[in-house]
Chain A
Amino acid sequence: EDLSVVGSWSGLPLHKQYEAPFWTETLPEASGGEINVALTTHDQMNLGVGDVYRLLGDGVYDVGMTVADYAVADAPELEGLDVPLLALTADEAKAMVDAARPMVTDIYHDRFNSHVLAIAPYPPQVVFCNAEISGLADLEGKKVRASGRMTAKFLEALGAEGVNVSFSEVPGALQKGVVDCAVTGAGSGYSAGWWEVSTHLLPIPLGGWDSVVTAVNLDKWNALSDEMKTLIQDQITENFETPAWETAQTALEDDIACLTGNGECAAGDARSMTLVEASDADFERAREVLVTEVLPEWKERAGDEWIARWNDSVGQTVGVTIE
């Protein structure tokens, strides 16, 4: 069986540590040589991030994976997979994803003609500021760069000014005050040198966990034998998804250590950003903003049916009900 696989960002650890070994070594070996994989990544193909699942559904390749949030343009109901600040630890994020999984499976089935195989996390999207902040409340009035609709709306609801800057221009924009703060993965921020141009780190998942969904074209999936389906599903859960989640929490702690110098940094030199703790009051306020403004807005986009499903699944897990 030949599979053409399009992976997530080639430069990030998820691809290098888990995706690439799984698809090129683990799975072909487990199949006893029956499965041959041709692996590339969407950035190497120069695909628009929003196109990955569109092309997957069209059968341009067999398996695709990218951040689910990139696909919400075509499926607003998918925003519910990754709501900011509802999951603070990897375990909570995993519980949220597991609760959302049946919903996500149906969304991919209907919108993208594909079948969900796995949902793995990128490190959570945290806040880098080149301005003194002592908590979430201080973001009010600041110019903040964020990607993704729900995060941007959330920041707006907090009273921050959303500014559009492409990822590569963030360091310059932070340094020069085009933006005061920017949201990205702690690891990406470390390797992209954001610590050079920012002083304060607020390590709470303001941009959510950026779940990466691995999906297979539905026609391809249906044409596989039952044994093959079971093999692929078992292998990917055991050797890709589970290990990726297991390291997620420690990866975040390592990245924070690297950025702030509080602890060992295996990735390189530790930096000395100021670690800002979010207070309980911060979280309460965040939750209130989410429940009263951001999530009801999402309801308008996604429709009542999906919201009811979300309330019964993810909402129960995190203790939030959208009215």
Chain B
Amino acid sequence: MKSYWFGDVEGRACKPASGDPGLLAGRLAMLAGSGNACIPDWRIAVRCGAVRDRAEYLERLREAALILAERNLEQILLVDSSGLIQMVRMLDQLDEVINLLTERAVEWHRATRPGFSRKRTLPARSNLIALIREDADEALAGLLDEIDRLRDRRSLLMNQVSRRAEEILPNCSALAGGLVAARLVSEAGGIRELAALPASSIQVLGARTALFSHLATGTPPPKHGIVYQHGRVHNARRGTRGRVARTLSAKLAIAARIDYHRKSADREFLLKADEAVRKAGRRE
């Protein structure tokens, strides 16, 4: 029997496939996966009674191909981490923009208020923007409001990033927190790429400058990159910090592989990994 997208042909007999474009798209995908499909010929399709003429053949095929391509695209974008990576990059860019704008606002304020100095100690729980806001120009005040709004956006986005990371990287997120997991993926370029990295690379992801300066001129090697942002690493004592970073990265490398291949949280692994990281932080 020969299988084509429009039907199955057995000798002289032929069974046309359903004419529904959605079903045809499914059939195309199935045939492509089966590996024993044949190159189609529109004349067989006409003889088969699946289509009337060449025009209809192309129209049907085009509709099915469009649906198939859309489905495949959706599939790729779904499992793909490109959405998360864009979110992380937007977050970093927002930080940059907020800092630049704040910097500029301070300069502006300083130019209009001779008595202003940054050195003044800030009252608890207040920030620079709020401080300037108290007696800013009208024009500046409006902009300060916008900066404030951007900050709110930023923290909103931060929560969204960790939530998304927890969805697509359950193991890495459980181990290192959603934000760190998302940053690692962003730096590596994707989940697949992260899962392919050795632990030692994960340990120094995000410490590019320090790593290459070490390789080029022999400065001390970086102990950690993005993983430093994890509480266990930056709260660790100086003497044990490298060991904690190393252990965490080793466990993250495994977690990334589970995330990529299995896509679900592994409780047993997470408990053991957590214990290992905790142990690494203990004093001998």
Do chains A and B stick together as partners?
A: no
Measured CB to CB, the residues of B under 8 A from A are: none
Measured CB to CB, the residues of A under 8 A from B are: none
